[in-house]
Structure 1
Amino acid sequence: MAFIDGVSRKKLRMGLLGCVAACAAQGVLAATAPGFDPGSANVAVADPVVPRPPGKSCVVELFNGFTFTDFSNHPYTYAPPAGCGKTWSKVVLEADFSVTAGRQFDRTASLWLGGANIYFGTTQEPSSTVAPSWHVERDVSDFASLLGNPQTGQAILGNVVNDTYTGVISGSARLVFYPANILAPKADAPDAVYPLSDGTDGGTVTLNTGADVLTRTLTLPTNIERAYLDVFAQGQGGDEFWYSCVPDEVADEAQSCGGGSYREVQVAIDGQPAGVAPVYPWIFTGGIDPYMWRPTPGVQTLNFLPYRVDITPFAALLNDGQPHALSIGVTGANGYFSATGNLFVYLDRGRTALSGAVTVNTLKGQPAIATVDNTLTDVSGVVGGAVATHASRSFRTSGYVDTSHGRIVTDVTQTVAFRNTQTFAIDATRYEQAIDQLSTVDSTTKTRQGRSGLAVTTEAHYDFPLLASFKYSFDEAGNIVSAPSAVTQGFSRQFSKKVGSLLLYRSDVDNSIDTADTLAFSGGAVTGHSGQRSSQVFRFKDNLGSCYGRDISTSAGLLTAATDGGGCPGNRNRLLWFTHPDGSPDTSRTEDPGIF
């Protein structure tokens, strides 16, 4: 197949980014990571599992042996565990998935309970000889109010199985409960959770444009002290590779997707801006070059982390007994983002109604606007230069509520920044694109109770770096010959909590992967690949003695090394049971301004 004009080459490149897979067939751990066998082609990730508290656990099976061969939803029922008490120190979701050997796309998977999302991620792609299996875990202690009552739920994992796409995906999931005890007291979980999903059974909502929003109108309790909104925004369709897109006016020149590269989640209450969240550039296992992600997928690919937005400054507004519309939108969405969220609230047990006010909201009137510097040139069919996109803004939200234990003032200040620079070199024999992107968040929350109370200050810094390069070479007839690609992707989070000037807790999470591969083509079809290699490094440390490190290396689609304890004393991992070493949101222990 020949690709001569720019439009057809653009279609080829975008097809390669997404569809090559279909075209090509608590404890102390030893230094060597357990459960990993060098030479294995099965999924191997450096991510930690959820640390567990001491004591006996109870298991409630959600489903077992579900097979996903079409786009029907798979319902299940849940009942609280018998003989496991009414209070728990921790609740963990465990899920196992597998796909048979053959040809299959990556698929999106989500689990729902009482309409609330309890898991969101994508699947590993198989090969003709490898039937991968993988395990995911998530701390779901924040859903304790939901888990105290019987619920209905469903697993959503759309898949196609036919003569071409043969991989059958199977899965099972369960909840593991740890009853509270003297060594592991009851989690200070939210008093209620309100799903922002597509209906009572749960499901994501499609946001095709920046004007689209996921909105749910809720009449909430009138005694809310604290409120948090966990949000997910997953790029799909034309937005799967949103970080590679350029403004519409240069999309044909750059042979790239349009709509620009700036994406950011907007949270609003009754249309009033209330918070923002960065969008993580998740890369699915069929993305860019599927061989890069075998056997180690990208950061969070199999198990997305939500971003938590603190909307406590708006508690007084939510407490007025009137219905309020909470909404999630994605700036720059261009067909499309899959979005959902969960609102968690903490209530005042001493009063049924709280008064207060929202005192500051400088986010109001601050639109999300990006600046684009375009130096792209096109001289006689030779394209070169760069497209650089920048956005940054700082804002403050503040409010108070008068509670049974005094006035609580919450002040949130945040700076969010985004930059994306793409360089191009395009002529008759090559297409080269390099992406350098970074999203950052600096957030400080100060909480003061009573006039003389010491301020509790929590600070968090996030970095979402992405480096990617795609190089496609063409012969004289315009046929693609080879396609070397490389990706470096990361997630880092630094968190601290102080009372006055006294540091109570600090944690640092860093998760990064570096991977590369080169595809070979003949006649427009993939004929093989070479040079596959990847490495994932995961680090977690806190000031209470927790430390976790795991390093994974792969080559030619096989695991070559997996070692534990990197960066830890004695090269040994040790995790306190209440920590969140994966970097997921946590208000039930270390991050709650009112405890610890």
Structure 2
Amino acid sequence: MMCRSKPTSLLLPLVFISALCTHFSTRVSATPCPTERYRFAPRAPRAAEPQEFLDPTGPDFLLPQRPPSCSLPLLRHDFGDTYGRPPATAAYAPPPGCPAPWARVVLDLSVACAGEQYDRIAAVWLDGAELLRTSTAEPSESGVFWRVRKDITRYAALLRREEGGVASMMLENIVNDVFTGVYHVNVSLDFYMKEEEPTPGLESQYHPQLMLRTSKGASLIPNKRILGESKPQLEQKLGLSSSEADISTGAKAKVPSLYREPADMIIPISSNDSQTGFWFRIQNESDVHFKRIQIPKNAYRAVLEIYVSYHSNDEFWYSNPPNSYIQQNNLTTERGNGSFREVYAKIDGRFVGSIVPFPVIFTGGINPLFWEPVVALGAFDLPSYNLDLTPFLGLLLDGRPHDLGIGVTDGIAFWLVDANLHLWLDSQSSYVTARLLHYQAPKISISRRSISHRLNGTFTIGAGRKSYFSGWVNSSIGNLTTDVNFKLKFKSLVGFTDNGNRKEVQMKAKLKTGVQIKEGPKAILAQGSYKFKYPLLIVSSTLPAENNTYRMTTNLSHILSEQTLVMLDRGRTYNSITDQQKADGWMLVQDHSVLAGSAATLQTYQYRDHTGFSYSRRVTAEDGLLLSDNTTVF
């Protein structure tokens, strides 16, 4: 629901309140306007002792279960009144007792907080390259705490540098007489020198990724045994004749080992002004931020990893109405521009790839009662997104500087975005040659439809994009061609009924990327297919209550679905992840404070792979207490 009057709101760092309105407006509606961003009013703690919060989205079975070979304290800081201040920093040097190469490196973040406080956005960088994007839980007087473990082996090129570097963490917070919560943070790195013996069905989890799909992905190639079809069957499926297969045998022998390894160099695509954090702050759709780079002449593979989060007027971008609705009803909110967003990358002004971000909900969003003690999908470890730029090495390997930029289609204030350019270098040659063969990137197709009468209205958006890039790189591995096919489908509905008191949000995003590595026109050495779906449904109804309060009832369904198929030489790996949350409840709100309410949340996580291994976890919570947490492995 929206109304005409503008609130007097407290400006908060990074994650703003961004209220629509806060008080009664009889001219428009019989109810006040919900803000979609809240905090808990002072209340009796639900638990006498500090309570642990959790994010079941990142299951522990994907990380090493044994003690690390060594653990390195990286940064310890109390984030009190840090708004407007530079990030906390600490010197980093590789652990002397655990020299590279490492089998695995895991970042371990621990946070504790007690008091009254809003949620905050935070990030950890090493020399300007982002390692983790995270957000905080909203604390209670008795205190909350949580832990985030993330595999950062892919950043080994930064971690192993003998000269070390500088680790930074940004978490802007306000502490005063009202907001008393201080976030106590400890960051350490765990190094594993050798792989532990794989658990049956989990061989692939302990090996670096083939194509760096996402920071959490598992498109992995097992070392110990080859699974899948026999060589003749696989070659037939890939369209290889026996003669072509024989010709490509040499390259086939090299591709698996080289493409398993993390990048040899990582170039941060981030702000040079570290005093405000290394992320770019994007204010509108024309605000494209560039970093001028020059890459080594022997780079044979390139992947751009993008980190992104959205705040203020665009925190709930997937629920924003069009500007016409706001103007026709004389609304004062700036939360508009429709409900579609696309994050894209450009090289020297040329489009090279894009993604629709997964709609992460922070712990103060929609209904904060949903997110205690189980936070929303990805809230503690926001996903990163990868674009394979290998076909564009023909443009970048000319020895000249190039501008690599990031922007947001239809974006409004504000987005925090940065990226890491992962480069693989040919150790056998000081330079390689490359050429862009095919470039097909039509403009995105967007259709919009609006039907409205006063505060009631239905607004739909459909968007689609297809792109195809192909280029060859001639290195010591061979003359390999990389084909990248990308397809995006997006549908959105934002509807208001009952004079604006009932709001329904439906969003469906589908992304599919296909990557092929070939020697010659038909000799496919490796190929991967990566599919992502994330539907979202939110239905909220608002009714007036006494003493300038309102009661909001909300139902939510949120799903993250991933499917990965990778074929390399004689083997094939497959895995699928389905992560779903369902929540419903009500809350009594005054201004931005939740005075009372009740809510229940159910989360189910399912993982399956090509070995027949299956992992599932089912977590239920109600009224701030964890009721059950059951795991099944078979």
TM-score (norm 1): 0.85
- 1: CA distance, partners of 2:148 / 2:398: 40
1:195 aligns with 2:213: no
1:105 aligns with 2:102: no
Which region of structure 1 is more displaced relative to structure 2, 465-474 or 326-335? 465-474
Code of the residue aligned with 1:386 in structure 2: it is: T
- 1: CA distance, partners of 2:140 / 2:547: 29
Q: Deviations over 1:389-428 (max 9, x none)?
A: 110011101100111232110001111111110121142x
Residue from 456, 461, 467 that aligns with 2:526: 456
Code of the residue aligned with 1:551 in structure 2: it is: R
CA contact (8 A) 2:373 2:621 kept: yes
- 2: CA distance, partners of 1:195 / 1:546: 37
- Aligned partner of 1:205 in structure 2 is 280
SS in 1 for 2:267: strand
Distance 1:173 1:55, change over 3 A: closer
- 2: CA distance, partners of 1:10 / 1:168: 28
Which region of structure 1 is more displaced relative to structure 2, 193-202 or 177-186? 177-186
- 1: CA distance, partners of 2:4 / 2:572: 61
- Aligned partner of 1:120 in structure 2 is 133
- 1: CA distance, partners of 2:528 / 2:486: 12
1:411 aligns with 2:483: yes
- 2: CA distance, partners of 1:329 / 1:253: 29
Equivalences for residues 217-232 of structure 1 within 5 A: 217-232=292-307
Residue from 319, 323, 326 that aligns with 1:251: 326
The alpha carbon displacement at 1:516 in A equals: 2.1
Equivalences for residues 487-566 of structure 1 within 5 A: 487-499=556-568, 504-521=572-589, 528-565=595-632
Code of the residue aligned with 1:220 in structure 2: it is: I
Distance 1:85 1:275, change over 3 A: same
SS in 1 for 2:52: coil
The alpha carbon displacement at 1:485 in A equals: 1.6
Distance 1:182 1:519, change over 3 A: closer
Code of the residue aligned with 1:136 in structure 2: it is: V
Which region of structure 1 is more displaced relative to structure 2, 449-458 or 203-212? 449-458
RMSD between aligned residues: 2.7
Distance 1:6 1:166, change over 3 A: closer
The alpha carbon displacement at 1:232 in A equals: 1.6
- 1: CA distance, partners of 2:129 / 2:565: 29
- 2: CA distance, partners of 1:404 / 1:526: 62
The alpha carbon displacement at 1:185 in A equals: 8.0
1:356 aligns with 2:434: yes
SS in 2 for 1:12: coil
The alpha carbon displacement at 1:270 in A equals: 0.7
Code of the residue aligned with 1:203 in structure 2: it is: F
CA contact (8 A) 1:218 1:325 kept: yes
Code of the residue aligned with 1:267 in structure 2: it is: A
- Aligned partner of 2:351 in structure 1 is 273
The alpha carbon displacement at 1:17 in A equals: 3.2
Residue from 359, 382, 395 that aligns with 1:317: 395
The alpha carbon displacement at 1:44 in A equals: 3.0
Equivalences for residues 306-345 of structure 1 within 5 A: 306-345=384-423
1:435 aligns with 2:510: no
Q: Deviations over 1:560-587 (max 9, x none)?
A: 000011xx32xxxxxxxxxxxxxxxxxx
- 1: CA distance, partners of 2:578 / 2:370: 21
SS in 2 for 1:317: helix
- Aligned partner of 1:141 in structure 2 is 153
Code of the residue aligned with 1:192 in structure 2: it is: M
- 2: CA distance, partners of 1:532 / 1:182: 41
Gaps of 5+ in 2: 8-18, 24-31, 198-205, 209-259
CA contact (8 A) 1:104 1:166 kept: yes
CA contact (8 A) 1:230 1:309 kept: yes
Residue from 449, 467, 474 that aligns with 1:395: 467
1:484 aligns with 2:557: no
Q: Deviations over 1:138-163 (max 9, x none)?
A: 11111111111211111111101100
Distance 1:527 1:539, change over 3 A: closer
The alpha carbon displacement at 1:96 in A equals: 0.3
Code of the residue aligned with 1:372 in structure 2: it is: R
Distance 1:355 1:4, change over 3 A: closer
CA contact (8 A) 1:518 1:531 kept: yes
- 2: CA distance, partners of 1:115 / 1:349: 25
The alpha carbon displacement at 1:5 in A equals: 5.1
CA contact (8 A) 1:362 1:397 kept: yes
CA contact (8 A) 1:24 1:527 kept: no
Code of the residue aligned with 1:199 in structure 2: it is: N
The alpha carbon displacement at 1:517 in A equals: 2.1
Code of the residue aligned with 1:70 in structure 2: it is: T
Residue from 291, 294, 298 that aligns with 2:372: 294
Which region of structure 1 is more displaced relative to structure 2, 327-336 or 57-66? 57-66
CA contact (8 A) 1:114 1:200 kept: no
- 2: CA distance, partners of 1:153 / 1:212: 28
SS in 1 for 2:38: helix
Which region of structure 1 is more displaced relative to structure 2, 445-454 or 244-253? 445-454
The alpha carbon displacement at 1:252 in A equals: 4.6
Distance 1:132 1:424, change over 3 A: same
- Aligned partner of 2:316 in structure 1 is 241
Distance 1:326 1:526, change over 3 A: closer
- 2: CA distance, partners of 1:526 / 1:182: 49
- Aligned partner of 2:35 in structure 1 is 17
Q: Deviations over 1:345-385 (max 9, x none)?
A: 1111222111121111111xx2335211112223xxxx434
Work out the percentage of aligned pairs sharing the same amino acid: 24
SS in 1 for 2:138: coil
CA contact (8 A) 1:97 1:135 kept: yes
The alpha carbon displacement at 1:314 in A equals: 0.7
Aligned length: 541
1:444 aligns with 2:444: no
The alpha carbon displacement at 1:534 in A equals: 0.3
CA contact (8 A) 1:362 1:396 kept: yes
- 1: CA distance, partners of 2:95 / 2:137: 31
Gaps of 5+ in 1: 26-36, 570-596
- 2: CA distance, partners of 1:219 / 1:521: 53
Code of the residue aligned with 1:555 in structure 2: it is: E
The alpha carbon displacement at 1:18 in A equals: 4.5
- 2: CA distance, partners of 1:180 / 1:322: 40
Distance 1:274 1:526, change over 3 A: closer
Q: Deviations over 1:158-192 (max 9, x none)?
A: 10110010111110011111114696789611000
Residue from 168, 179, 183 that aligns with 1:165: 179
Distance 1:88 1:372, change over 3 A: same
CA contact (8 A) 1:4 1:478 kept: no
SS in 1 for 2:400: coil
Distance 1:185 1:137, change over 3 A: closer
Which region of structure 1 is more displaced relative to structure 2, 443-452 or 143-152? 443-452
- 2: CA distance, partners of 1:74 / 1:16: 35
CA contact (8 A) 1:265 1:331 kept: yes
SS in 2 for 1:161: coil
TM-score (norm 2): 0.80
Q: Deviations over 1:502-546 (max 9, x none)?
A: 651001112121112211257x68573333100111112211354
Residue from 74, 78, 88 that aligns with 1:62: 74
Q: Deviations over 1:296-326 (max 9, x none)?
A: 1110011111011111111222221111111
- 2: CA distance, partners of 1:280 / 1:527: 27
Code of the residue aligned with 2:631 in structure 1: it is: D
